[in-house]
Every structure is written in structure tokens, then in C-alpha cells.
Amino acid sequence: MSALPWLLPALPLTGGAALLLAGHRADRAAPTAGAALALATCALTAVAARTGPEAAAPFLPGLPVRLAVDGLSAPLAVTVAAVAALVLLAARAGLGPTDSAARSTGLMLLFTGAMLTTVTAATLPLLLMGWEVMGATSWALIGHTWRDRAATGAATTAFLTTRTGDLGLYVAAGAALAGGAAPLALDDLARTAEPWRSLTAAGIILAALGKSAQLPFSFWLSGAMRGPAPVSALLHSATMVAAGAYLLLRTGPLLAATAWGAGLTAWTGAATALVLGLVAVAQRDLKQLLAASTCAQLGFMVLAAGAGATTGGTLQLLAHAAAKSLLFLLAGAWLTTHGTRLLPGLTGAARSPRSLGLLFTTGALCLAGFPPLALWAAKDLLLPAALTRDPWLYATGLTAATLAAVYSTKALWYVWRPAPATTAPPARPALLAPLTLLALACAALTPLALPPLRTALERTVATGVHPAPHLWEAALSGGLALGAAAWAWSAGGPRLRLPGPFPDWLGLERAAHILVVRPVLAAARLAAAFDTRVLERAVDAAAYGTLALARRTDRVAERGLTGAVAVLAAAVRGAGREARRPQTGQLHQYLAQAVAAFTALAVVFVLVR
């Protein structure tokens, strides 16, 4: 047992709570303090990942809470802490919100602590606690500019959508308890008895798909782009949206133990990767393109969880975290510089300053899956597992991987296209440092991460099937990526447009309003009308009837009772007057009365004898 696992989430949680309580008084010191706390947390996670500590504490009878930094949780904890530290450093360098710095920094630290709790939790109750705090803080971060009604509306949409999926975790916990998995350890869920095992798997899949913005929940990620750039980089790289994919990878044995869970998960991930890849190609807004690509890239992780390719899915998650946080931060920097997120308005942005352009290119090439970058290696580890399960699943995943090269090249075509000279200010040295580190992670992750990842995943609850890719598979995926990128570059950005519902994210949000929101609101209005027209009138009628009955009772019962009381009172008064007659006050009369009384008693006594 060790105190280190408790310290990992406690440090950012405590620091974030302190900054929130301090409020505006800590605005000046908050960015530096937040970055320092994040760096300290990153150092602690590195130590914990090396030592693999565990900790447990009693919670409810038969339901302890346990933390463990080993196997799958170790690389994820390091990734979460590292991305949070680099994002907070970038926020300190000028990308963070200009107002309420203490509030934004405190919320990001709370969010990081909740994600670390989710990643290191070995039992379902503790995971639920981190999951809930993460959802609440994400709502506050997306709607940080609360005076902007569009931002607060997007935050509410994201919160309610993910909360709909989060209900699945409560269903899963209840089903696991009913099925005999009393400690609710994540490693034991696969041993739950049927039909509770299937219900547990269904709840976990629902929660994971909602949190990771998979179909049909993908639309909430579009509106979440209204948050500040550091918030987008933090929430949508290694933390919130990755939590669902991590949960599916962690509970892979449970999915495999059901007859349907693994297949449903794999096909949902493949469909999301393909369809949201097309949505990304159709976007003209850089942040919307990155958001749709996030859904698509997370689809590969979900596909890996269903196919049992834990190593490929984990490497995909790590590489995506580095690439996407880098790209979101650069998008925020260009938004600040150029005043627009539209790709035509960012023409030539990579040329001034060229340093940011090179960093953006590194992240975009990693996102495109160019060999030998990390996401190419990740897909070549997970796609062979899909091939062993279903050739059509492999074909769908390969097509989606090819689309990644198209939308990444589209973004590069716009930002590198020659444009008139701009007056963009040079990049701040403090901003270049965290972005350069993220770019190096994108470029160097593959050779550095694969051997230790395979060693670490041997200790996880289930590493799954990891067939090594054949040479033809690696050549096919790499060749398709290069060919698609060349075609997209020659076609040019304006030609890469898709008609129909793709630019509007398939109309998923509108469909959700039609199928869910409007019926619920209509039902609420009907309930309110029933309450007003039926229940309220029934209560009024009952009140009026009671009053009428009271008046009738007053006329009939009360008057008769009053007369009876009056007669009784008159009789009592008469008896009192008669009783006072003998009381004359003369002694001889009292003596005569006593003699008469005793005589009467004597007569009665004689007669009775």
C-alpha cells in the first residue's frame, strides 16, 4: 500500500479548489501556480508509473475503493498529466482566457484531477466519482465565457448529452452488484453471471460512447469548440473524450465475454471513424475540422477495444493526445492572431511565423497517419486485429484511416497556401516551448513507446489479441495515406467539399432535438397543462365542496346540537334552583331534614330485610 496513488489526483484537485475559492484575488498568480502544480503532478505520475503503487480504502460495506497505477493506467496517467502540464503552460503563455484566470485554471486542475481519478480507479464506485466530477467541470469549462449565450448553450448540450450516456454506468454498477461482482472491481466485471453480465456491458458501452462522442452522440463535440483553446486542447485530446475509449479498453474482457458486446463496439467505432472522417473533410472551420477528426480518431480506439487490440488502441490514444492538443493550441494561437477560425481566412497562416507552421505540420502529419509516425503505427497494430475478426471491419477501418490523410492535408493546404503579406506578430517564446514538446512527442512517440507499452500491457487485465502486421498491410495503409494526401493536395482545399448533411455534422443535433428534446418538452407541457387544467381544478372543486358541506353541517347538525345543549343547560339550572330550596340557613330545619332522611333509610332497611 502506498500514499502516492492518492496524491496523484489530490494535488490538482486541492490546488484547483484553492484557486476557485480564492477567486479574482488569485487571477495574477493563477496561471503560474496552475502550471507549477501540473508539472509537479506530471513528475509524480512518472514516478508512480515506474513503481506501480496501489492503495485502497473502505467506502461502503463490501464496496471498497482502490487505486492502481499499473498496466494500462500507467501510460494513460502519464499522458494525462503531461498534456495538462503543457496545456497550462501554453495558457500561461497567453492562450488562456483573459478574464477570471483563477477560475479557468482552477477548473482545469479539477478536471485533471478527476481524469487521473478515472484512469487510476480500479473499482467502479471510484471511477464513477471521477467520471461525475469530470462531467461537471467540463460543463463549466466549455461555458467559461458565461456571458456568451452560445457558449453556455453548447456547454449545456454537451453536459446533457454526456449525462444521458453516463446513466449507463449506474446501470452497470447495479447489474454488476446483482450479478455477484460485489467489490465492483473492473477486473472482475467479466465474471458476472448472466444476464447481468450483458446488462453491465450495455451500460458501460453506453457511457463510453456518450463520453467519447461516438455515434449517435457525436454532435455535442461540435458545440464544445466554443470553449477557449486550452480547454479544447485539454478536454478533447487526452482527457474527457478519451475517457470513454479508455474505459472500453480497460473492460475489454467484459466485452469479449458477451456474445454481442465486442462486435457492437468494434462496428460502432469503425462507423464513427468513417462517417465523422467525411464530416471532417466537409468542414471549412479549422476547429470544427479538428473536432470531427477527434470523433473519427476516437473511433479507431473504440474499434481497437472491440477487436481486442489493446496495444494498438492505447498507442492510438497516446499519439492522438499529443497531436490533437498541439493542433488545438495552434488553432487557438491563429484565432487570436487572425481573428477567424475559417480555413479561407487562415490562408498563409503557417508562413508567418513559420515556426508555428512547422509545428502544425508535424501534428497534422501525425494525425494523417503518415509513416513512420505514431498514428500510422497504431493503426497498423489495431487494423490486423480487425482483419482477423471481419474483413469488412478491416476495410471500413482502412477507408477511415485513408480519410484522415485527406482532412489533414486539406488543413495543410489552406495554412501553407501563399497569401499576401500579413502583419501577424511573432510567436511568443513561452508559447513555443510547450508546442515544441508536443511536436516532438508526435514525431518520436512510435520508437519510444512501443516496447515499454507492450511490456506494461502484459500486466493489464486483458491485453487482447495483437497480431503483428504483415508487410503488405503496413505498405497498404501507408501507401493509401500518401496517395490520398497527394490527391487532396492537388485537388485543393475548396474542392474538398461534401454536399448534404456532412457540413452540418449529419444533422445529429437537429435530429436529437426532433426525436428527444421536443417530445420531452411536449410531454412536459402536457404534464403542466394537466396539472393546471385537471389537478388544479380538481383541488379547487374539492375545496369548494368542503366549504359547502361545512355550511350544510352548520345549518343542520350545529343548530340541533345547539338546541340540545340549551335544553340541558336549562334543566341543570332548574335542578340547581330546586337543590337550593332546602338551604335556608335555620338549624331546626336542617335537624328535621336529617330526621326525615334517617327515617326514610330505616324504612328502606326494614323493607329490604
Q: Which residue has the cell 473504440?
A: 302
Residue 299 has pLDDT above 60, yes or no: yes
pLDDT at position 72 is: 83
* pLDDT tens per residue, range 394-431: 999 999 999 999 999 999 999 888 866 555 555 555 56
Helix-helix angle 30-51:4-22, to 10 degrees: 170
Asked whether 296 and 276 are in contact (CB, 8 A), the reply is: yes
Q: How far is CA 90 from CA 81, 434, 448, 541, in A?
A: 14, 6, 25, 66
Distance CA 317, CA 323 (A): 10
pLDDT at position 449 is: 47
Give the pLDDT band of residue 16 (cuts 50, 70, 90). Answer: very high
pTM of the model: 0.83
Give the pLDDT band of residue 458 (cuts 50, 70, 90). Answer: very low
What type of residue is 278?
L
* pLDDT tens per residue, range 238-274: 788 899 999 999 998 899 899 899 999 999 999 999 9
Distance CA 464, CA 474 (A): 20
Weakest mean pLDDT among 34-38, 127-131, 467-471: 467-471
Distance CA 449, CA 496 (A): 34
pLDDT at position 492 is: 80
pLDDT at position 205 is: 95
pLDDT at position 574 is: 79
* pLDDT tens per residue, range 480-507: 888 888 888 888 877 777 777 888 888 8
Average pLDDT over every residue of 573-578? 75
pLDDT at position 64 is: 86
What the block records as the C-alpha cell of 394 is: 478491416
Cβ atoms within 10 Å, residue 545: 10
φ, ψ at 138 (rounded to 5°): -65, -40
pLDDT at position 427 is: 53
pLDDT at position 232 is: 84
What type of residue is 409?
T
Summary mean pLDDT of the chain: 83
Residue 297 has pLDDT above 60, yes or no: yes
Residue 516 has pLDDT above 50, yes or no: yes
Distance CA 281, CA 408 (A): 8
* pLDDT tens per residue, range 176-206: 988 887 788 888 888 888 889 999 999 999 9
pLDDT at position 268 is: 95
DSSP per residue, 189-219: GGGPPTTHHHHHHHHHHHHHHHHTT-TTSTT
Residue 463 has pLDDT above 60, yes or no: no
- The residues spanned by each domain of the chain are 4-503, 517-597
Provide, rounded to the nearest whole percent, the portion of the chain with pLDDT above 70. 87
* pLDDT tens per residue, range 48-96: 888 888 888 888 887 888 898 877 888 889 889 988 888 888 888 767 6
Name every residue whose Cβ is closer than 8 Å to that of residue 183 and which is 6 or more positions away in sequence: 62, 63, 64, 123
Q: Is the peptide bond before 195 cis (omega within 30 degrees of 0)?
A: yes
* pLDDT tens per residue, range 364-379: 888 887 776 656 566 7
* pLDDT tens per residue, range 165-174: 999 999 999 9
Weakest mean pLDDT among 29-33, 372-376, 413-417, 588-592: 372-376
pLDDT at position 169 is: 93
